């Protein structure tokens, strides 16, 4: 199957660790041919060229802030695809309702939502998507299959606790994030390794960071807390890359990940207590937990799994 994928993807992408590149690699691993088209003001020209040059089975789109393909031009490409019987789909890991998204509107005039199938990690707002006439499907985040596994201990990352992710400038609607990071810095002063907020640790180096720490703290913007159907890719990323992740309980995530994550209460004090408990684990117990978590994520929660689900939903 030939898939034209528009986004921050391919050799021209800003970084190899983009979600688009991970999805493209996963589609290729499943035996499909991915034709990457770097998103930008003129990328519609290349999309049309590919549609003329070869048989295309799917056009997939992930919109990236700053790359800015004109909505009208993109929607014109979607119309061309519909005229030729080629399905269009978009994929995104973010939540859109109830947040200041810098003018992003969940509407049919937005190219991200004007495709035939919209896949996002937000399972909390299905009625809101439906009310806008958007054919939305919940697709939780995954991790690249090739990057699942325990890393190697590195002195530069050695610490008891890890925090991976941003905290400064995070959604003001979710104050828990900076509060958690401040509590971690106070409780584990001198014993905390951080990545994010200007410190970039990606790809297999992130596995090494997790291997060099005993436990990592998690947080996800969850509008409905325990009953939410949204969480960040930190859950599959940390569990799949060999970390003992302590994360507040989200019922739908517990159903999918089970004991691969150490679940705790939403109170920050409860989370710190759970982290302290993991710090008492023996090396044998920690190694067993990591081995089981990595195996589970590799089997159930990689982008290969998510791509299979997406293609099955589209009927390809």
Q: In this predicted model, what pLDDT tens digit does every residue of 13-43 receive, in sequence order?
A: 878 889 999 999 999 999 999 999 999 999 9
pLDDT tier for residue 108 given thresholds of 50, 70 and 90: confident
pLDDT tier for residue 166 given thresholds of 50, 70 and 90: confident
56-71 average pLDDT score? 90
Q: Give per-residue burial for 39-53: e unless 16+ CB within 10 Å, then b.
A: bbeebbebbeebbee
CB 233 within 8 A of CB 298: no
Phi, psi of 187 (to 5 degrees): -70, -30
pLDDT beyond 70 at 66: yes
Query: Which H, E and C letters describe 172-188, residue by residue?
Result: CCCCHHHHHHHHHHHHC
CB 257 within 8 A of CB 251: no
Q: Among residues of the chain, what percentage have pLDDT more than 70?
A: 99
**How far apart, in Å, are the Cα atoms of 256 and each of 22, 142, 176, 293, 314?**
21, 12, 24, 12, 22
pLDDT of residue 174: 87
Q: How far apart are CA 140 and CA 233, in angstroms?
A: 8
Q: How far apart are CA 21 and CA 137, in angstroms?
A: 21
DSSP code string of the chain: -EEEEEES-STTSS-TTSHHHHHHHHHHHTT-EEEEEE-STTHHHHHHHHHHHS--SEEEE---TTT---HHHHHHHHHHHHHTT--EEEEE-S--TTS--TT---STTSTTTSSSEEEES--S-HHHHHHTT--EEE----B-GGG-S-----GGG--SEEEES--TT--TT-THHHHHHHHHHHHTTTSEEEEBTTB---HHHHHHHHHTSSEEE-----TTGGG-----THHHHHHHTT--EEEE--HHHHHHHGGGSEEE-SSHHHHHHHHHHHTTS-HHHHHHHHHHHHHHHHHHSBHHHHHHHHHHHHT-
pLDDT beyond 70 at 101: no
Q: Among residues of the chain, what percentage have pLDDT more than 90?
A: 83
Q: Give per-residue burial for 152-181: e unless 16+ CB within 10 Å, then b.
A: eeeeebebbbbbbbebeebeeebebbbebb
Domains for the chain: give ranges and CATH numbers. 2-142+302-314 (3.40.50.2000), 147-300 (3.40.50.2000)
pLDDT of residue 103: 56
Q: In this predicted model, what pLDDT tens digit does every residue of 199-235 receive, in sequence order?
A: 889 999 999 999 999 999 999 998 889 999 999 999 9
Beta bridge partners of 92: 120
The answer to which of 121-125, 167-171, 275-279 has the lowest mean pLDDT is 167-171
pTM for the complete prediction? 0.95
């Amino acid at each position: 199957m030939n898939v034209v994928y528009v986004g921050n993807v391919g050799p021209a992408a800003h970084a190899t660790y983009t979600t688009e590149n991970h999805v493209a690699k996963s589609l290729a691993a499943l035996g499909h041919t991915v034709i990457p088209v770097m998103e930008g003001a003129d990328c519609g020209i290349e999309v049309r060229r590919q549609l003329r040059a070869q048989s295309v089975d799917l056009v997939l789109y992930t919109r990236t802030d700053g790359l800015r393909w004109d909505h009208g031009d993109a929607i014109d490409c979607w119309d061309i695809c519909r005229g030729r019987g080629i399905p269009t789909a978009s994929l995104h890991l973010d939540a859109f309702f109830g947040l200041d998204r810098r003018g992003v509107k969940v509407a049919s005039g937005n190219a991200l939502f004007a495709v035939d199938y919209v896949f996002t990690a937000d399972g909390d707002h299905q009625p809101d998507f439906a009310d806008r006439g958007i054919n939305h499907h919940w697709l939780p985040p995954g991790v690249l299959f090739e990057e699942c596994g325990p890393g190697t201990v590195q002195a530069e990352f050695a610490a008891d606790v890890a925090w991976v992710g941003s905290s400064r400038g995070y959604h003001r609607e979710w104050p828990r994030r900076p509060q958690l990071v401040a509590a971690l810095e106070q409780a584990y002063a001198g014993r905390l390794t951080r990545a994010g907020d200007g410190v970039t640790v990606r790809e297999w180096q992130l596995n090494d960071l997790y291997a060099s720490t005993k436990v990592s703290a998690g947080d996800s913007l969850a509008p409905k807390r325990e009953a939410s159907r949204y969480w960040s890719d930190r859950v599959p990323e940390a569990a799949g890359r060999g970390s003992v992740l302590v994360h507040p309980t989200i019922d739908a995530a517990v159903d999918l990940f089970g004991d691969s994550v150490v679940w705790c209460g939403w109170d920050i004090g409860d989370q710190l207590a759970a982290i302290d408990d993991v710090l008492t684990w023996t090396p044998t117990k920690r190694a067993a937990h990591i081995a089981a978590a990595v195996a589970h994520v590799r089997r159930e929660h990689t982008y290969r799994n998510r791509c299979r689900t997406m293609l099955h939903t589209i009927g390809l």
